[in-house]
Amino acid sequence: MGRLVLKGVSRKFNNSFAVNNVNLEVNEGEFLCLLGPSGCGKTTVLRLAAGLDTPSSGEIFLDDKKITGANRECGFVFQEYALFPWRTVRGNIEFGPEVKGMQKEEVKRLSQHYIDLVGLTGFENHFPHELSGGMKQRVGIARAYANNPKLLLMDEPFGALDAQTRNIMQGELLRIWEQEHISALFVTHSVDEAVYLADRVVVMSARPGTVKEMFEINLPRPRVRTSPEANELRNSILKSLGAEIKKLVPQV
Ligand SMILES: Nc1ncnc2c1ncn2[C@@H]1O[C@H](COP(=O)(O)OP(=O)(O)OP(=O)(O)O)[C@@H](O)[C@H]1O
Ligand SMILES: [Mg+2]
């Protein structure tokens, strides 16, 4: 479910383009990763898709419906965990369904489903400060899923995790995504993460950001990170991304 289309999207801040003429599609059920140098406008693109910001020009559609205000049909997972510290794991996950006015029993059934799905059974009544980074991020993912979104927008959700937890979380995310095929637009700085997760990888140019290159990752899942095919793809993507990073730091 959920087909996101960005048509000629630009966003100016203080009269200068942060993103310029972005044309991009996330197909139904597709996992698309967005890579690009720092400051190229990745978060801006996600915020625009979520309807939290408005393009200076261009249009954005979700299932052919133009996005004009805060888009309730998408779930946002932020880099920082952004959980409510005064709510338990269950309370955080139940927030969206409660706001929607869903029946109490239905809310409980839904939250338990997602608590189990992200592997937090037994931690329902813990508060965020009692959880590890990986666990907090699971709550963030469960909370986004519990809103029944058509599109998941994720902004470097695993950026703050250590390498091993990050690998585990990537596997977990794919497991959940494969069960409930929601279209996903996932921002990362890690080429390895993109090649492990995505159906397609989009590399953005340095600011003003635009779509520079697109890579199809036609590797069966579960993927072997060390396969020659994955290595080859990583090398091509790194080359494309590296050229953009060099524009920012020419001496490197
Ligand atoms: N509200 C704002 N007001 C002014 N400038 C902004 C605003 N939001 C973003 N920008 C600018 O737009 C550009 C893109 O920012 P954005 O946060 O989208 O980059 P990013 O690709 O997500 O970077 P990073 O990889 O470091 O997270 C930056 O130059 C930033 O300074
Ligand atoms: Mg960002």
pLDDT at 239 over 90: yes
Task: Tokens for 146, please give them.
Answer: 């519990």
Number of neighbours of residue 186 by Cβ within 10 angstroms: 26
DSSP symbol at 172: H
pLDDT tens digits along 105-162: 999 999 999 999 888 999 999 999 999 988 998 999 999 989 889 999 999 998 888 8
The rounded Å distance from CA 98 to ligand 1 centre is: 32
- The CA–CA distances, whole Å, from 187 to 95, 123, 154 equal 25, 28, 6
Q: Tell me if 207 CB under 6 Å of ligand 1.
A: yes
Q: How many Cα neighbours within 13 Å face the side chain of 126?
A: 13
The rounded Å distance from CA 78 to ligand 2 centre is: 10
Place of tokens 């029944």: 148
Rg (CA), the chain: 18
Q: Whose CA is nearest to atom 14 of ligand 1?
A: 41
Strand partners, 49: none
pLDDT at 251 over 80: no
- For the segment 39-65, the average pLDDT, to the nearest whole number, is 96
Among candidate residues 20, 24, 25, the one with its CA nearest the CA of residue 10 = 20
- For the segment 35-61, the average pLDDT, to the nearest whole number, is 96
pLDDT at res. 71: 86
Task: Tokens for 83, please give them.
Answer: 């959980």
Alpha helices by DSSP H, the chain: 42-49, 89-99, 104-117, 133-146, 163-179, 191-197, 228-248
The rounded Å distance from CA 207 to ligand 1 centre is: 9
- For the segment 178-200, the average pLDDT, to the nearest whole number, is 94
Instruction: Give the pairing type, strands 65-66 and 74-77.
Output: unpaired
Sign of CA dihedral 141, 38, 23, 231: negative
Q: Whose CA is nearest to atom 9 of ligand 1?
A: 44
CB 219 within 8 A of CB 228: no
pLDDT tens digits along 66-108: 999 988 889 999 877 789 999 999 999 999 999 989 999 999 9
pLDDT at res. 179: 86
pLDDT at 11 over 60: yes
The structural domains of the chain, ordered by start, are 1-73+150-252 (3.40.50.300), 81-148 (no CATH)
pLDDT at res. 235: 98
**Range name among 15-19, 36-40, 75-79, 122-126 with the lowest pLDDT average:** 75-79
pLDDT at 252 over 60: no
Among candidate residues 214, 216, 210, the one with its CA nearest the CA of residue 244 = 210
**Range name among 32-36, 60-64, 160-164, 183-187 with the lowest pLDDT average:** 160-164
pLDDT at res. 249: 81
CB 89 within 8 A of CB 132: no
- For the segment 166-170, the average pLDDT, to the nearest whole number, is 89
Among candidate residues 113, 193, 189, 191, the one with its CA nearest the CA of residue 147 = 113
